[in-house]
Structure 1
Amino acid sequence: MESFEYENRTKIVFGRGELENTGRIARGYGTRFLLVTGRKSARATGTYDRVRNLLEAEEINVFDLDNVQSNPVLSRVRDGIEAVKKHRIEAVLALGGGSVMDTAKAVAAGSVLEKGDVWDFFTGKSEIENALPVLTVPTIAASGSEMNGFMVITDEKNHHKLAAGSPSVYPRVSILDPVLTCTVGPDYTAYGGVDAVCHLLEPYFNGSAPSTPVQDRIAEGLIINIMDATGACIRNPHDYESRATMLWSAALALCGLTKAGVGDHFFPVHMIEHSISALFPVAHGAGLAALLPGWMTWWAEGNNDKVAQLGERIWQIRENDTSDAARKTVQAFRTWLAETGCPQRLSDIGITPGEHRNIAENAMKQAGIWNVADLYSVETIETILAYCV
């Protein structure tokens, strides 16, 4: 285990009916809020009206930034920054999924930027030093953005989907009411489960520390909970306990706890998927599902032991030959994807081998920013993608 410092700046308010405390909590951060929402679900379920009424009951002035799309785009972030400056916004409240929360964070950081452009945070030209307060009310279990300082935005003109982060954009408070996630359909319930599992697997496999028994067991326990709860939520969308398990597990999956002590690491599967969803209309979780079995197969060629460990602890796979165990582990993961209705290969999301070079070249933008282009070159990424067909 490597040395580390761990801090999480987000206060969590969790439980059935906690949405009703939104106005009271928000009032402590100002009286002029930008309310960030997606395209339709929050309004269709009535959650938008409930939140707006709760805010206005506390004499909070509410201004909208709606129509945030899945795989959020830079132009909408800039619209939000303009709205903040026009209406003298004091804080930002995100009501929705990861795209909404990431947009809210980018708006909060970009609004206080004195020089340059908000995209400079994502290209590495500048660092986030300050931001307006961000509060979140997640309506899907997936990204974990409600409990971390990261965000991902797409420059839709240049087709680059990049990540940025800072302690300044940790949500001050996140209100996790599992009831709000009961209206999520089976497809996005499954995609959310895959996203959360991938958040755990990336540091699990890619950390530089040779021994991480604590981190491994935490990750493995969360993976089991997420897989079990995903299936339960698909079978019964209004199963409160399963929805609660999903929501809290997804938040924990990327709150920094499970990767503290694993040493140097990065998220190569996410890096490659970001290029896919920047170039093609693919849901983030679906893209991860299409990549993960192939990436694990490629990774296992030089790292059988860790993949075999995952198989033994998640699926009770025991083989004398670790390469056999690793192969069966990947197959077990494919089976779970199939059971939840997720893609298992790039062909399942319409990506052909002829697109591989374009995806790999696009991924080099993030690889360069993360200084991992030597590990994940165009040729290496093309090789990985060939495992994913």
Structure 2
Amino acid sequence: MDNFQFYSPTEFIFGRDTETKAGEMVKKYGGTKVLIHYGSGSAVKSGLLDCVKASLDASGIAYTELGGVQPNPRDTLIYKGIELCRNEGVDFILSVGGGSCIDSSKAIALGVPYNGDFWDFYGTGKEVEKALPIGTVLTIAAAGSEGSGASVVTKEEGSLKRDVGSDLLRPRFSILDPVLTCSLPAYQTACGATDIMAHVFERYFTNTREVEITDRLCEAVLLTMIKETPRAIAQPDNYEARANIMWAGTVAHNDIVGVGRSQDWNSHAIEHELSALYDCAHGAGLAVIMPAWMEFVYKHDVMRFAQMAVRVWGCHMNFEFPDETALEGIACFRSFLHSIGMPINFEQLGAREEDIHKLVKKMGIGDGKTGGFVHLTSQDIATIYRIAANAGL
């Protein structure tokens, strides 16, 4: 196990009707003028936005609001949010929505005190030195942004999707009411579940040895998703299934399952170009890319993939031919994704094989390499895209 520092200061308020505590929590963390940032009309139609406003009113917290966050959140709305916060004297941002809304909120939070373009931080490694505090009321279990310091947004010019990470972007608090996820369509539930599993796999496939504790934590989250996702799709109002998925989403990405080990994140980087170009759901893109990445890299550490096959998917270990076990596990993963309604190839996603050159070029690797588990060249990435394009069961 590698040396590590783990810092996860977010306070989680979990359970039924916890959204009524939004005002109390903003006040606790020093907010006096809030930007309520939310997505499309669902927060309005469901009455959630009114509930949050009533909670802020009861705590004597002033607020302004900005809706319109889209999946794969856009820089154009973020610029509007930064200007609005500056003009209104906002000192706290409250995100009401899913990961896209939270990521947009984080971008606004770092942009308000910065004397420059917020985009300077995305995909550059530039250190965030100051940001407004953030709180969240989560409505989708998927991205894990409610407990992480990460933010991923899209620059409309050039369709560039990039990320930034900083502990200063970790929410001060996150309100998690599983009931708020019960109205999600089956497809959105499945996309979220795929994203959660991908966050775990990005950490699970590591070159660090002797990390049994986090191996087992990763496997526990994956087994939970395998059990609960079909239940939530078949029974949308199943509170216990929704609750387990919601907490799994947080645990999968606040890095408790990733400490002390090297991580990869190639699959996310490769997928980002798909969702930036085609505006597909991030989880759906991951469903196409991650098994393809696995097929390309599994020989790098066959026994780790075989371990995944046995411990997560219940495959029989073939010690004489461990490659067969590893490939069986990958096939089980792809089959599971298909069973919950996810696409498994380019055609089902709405992507085009003829765009692979464009996708690779947009990653900006050139003659370099990227990744943690296996360092990939541009040619390697093109091969992964081709595997994904033509995948089947």
- What residue number does 1:235 align with? 234
Q: Measure the CA separation in 2 of the matches of 1:125 and 1:338.
A: 36
Which letter does structure 2 place at the counterpart of 1:225?
T
How do 1:253-292 residues align onto structure 2 when only pairs under 5 Å count? 253-263=252-262, 265-292=263-290
Distance 2:369 2:384 in 1: 20
The corresponding residue for 2:223 is 224
Bigger mean CA offset, 143-152 vs 298-307 = 298-307
Separation of aligned partners in 1, 2:363 and 2:264? 14
Alpha-carbon distance between aligned partners in 2 of 1:368 and 1:142, rounded to the nearest angstrom: 31
CA distance in 2, matches of 1:369, 1:32: 45
Structure 1 partner of 2:246: 247
- Structure 1, unaligned runs of 5 or more: none
- Give the counterpart letter for 2:156 in structure 1: E
CA deviations over 1:334-354 (Å, ceiling 9, x no partner):
221121001111221122221
Report 1:1-389 matches (<5 A): 1-28=1-28, 29-113=30-114, 115-124=115-124, 126-205=126-205, 207-263=206-262, 265-318=263-316, 319-320=318-319, 321-364=321-364, 375-389=375-389
Q: Is the 8 A contact 1:33 1:63 kept in 2?
A: yes
Taking structure 2 as the reference length, the TM-score comes to 0.94
After the TM superposition, which of the residue ranges 354-363 and 119-128 deviates more from structure 2? 119-128
Q: Deviations over 1:150-177 (max 9, x none)?
A: 0001111121100101111110001111
CA distance in 2 between counterparts of 1:134 and 1:248 reads 19
Q: Distance in 2 between matches of 1:219 and 1:316?
A: 15
Q: Secondary structure at the match of 1:303?
A: helix
1:357–1:378 CA contact under 8 A, matched in 2: no
2:20 and 2:352 mapped to 1: Cα distance?
47
Distance in 2 between residues matched to 1:369 and 1:279, nearest whole Å: 22
**In the superposition, relative to structure 1, how do residues 106 and 43 fare at CA in structure 2: closer, same or farther (>3 Å)?**
same
- Secondary structure at 1:342's aligned position in 2? coil
How much is the aligned-residue C-alpha RMSD, in angstroms?
1.8
Q: For the residues of structure 2 that align with 1:142 and 1:289, how far apart are their CA atoms? A: 13
Task: Select between 148-157 and 53-62 the one with higher mean Cα deviation.
Answer: 53-62
Q: Aligned AA for 1:291?
A: I
Tell me the distance in 2 between the aligned counterparts of 1:266 and 1:112.
32
> Cα gap change, 1:212/1:180 in structure 2, threshold over 3 Å: closer, same or farther?
same
Distance 1:169 1:35, change over 3 A: same
Residue type of the alignment partner of 1:83: L
Query: What runs of 5+ residues in structure 2 fail to find an aligned partner?
Result: none
Bigger shift: residues 374-383 or 218-227: 374-383
Q: How far did 1:369 drift?
A: 11
Contact 1:137 1:175 in 2 (8 A): yes
Cα deviation code 1:5-28 (max 9, x no counterpart): 111011111111211111111123
Contact 2:366 2:378 in 1 (8 A): no
Report percent identity of matched pairs: 33
What is the DSSP-based 3-state SS (H/G/I as helix, E as strand, rest coil) of the residue aligned with 1:302? Answer: helix
Report if aligned partners of 2:197, 2:225 keep a CA contact under 8 Å in 1.
yes
Check 1:288–1:195 CA distance in 2 against 1; reply closer, same or farther (3 A cut).
same
- Cα offsets for 1:202-230 (capped at 9, x unmatched): 1111x231222111110000001012111
- CA distance in 1 between counterparts of 2:279 and 2:34 reads 31
Instruction: Please give the per-residue CA displacement for 1:224-262, whole angstroms capped at 9, x wherever unaligned.
Output: 101211111101111001100000000000111111011
Task: Report deviation, 1:57.
Answer: 2.1
> In the alignment, residue 96 of structure 2 is paired with which amino acid?
L
Query: How many matched pairs?
Result: 385
Kept in 1: contact 2:186–2:233 (CA 8 A): yes
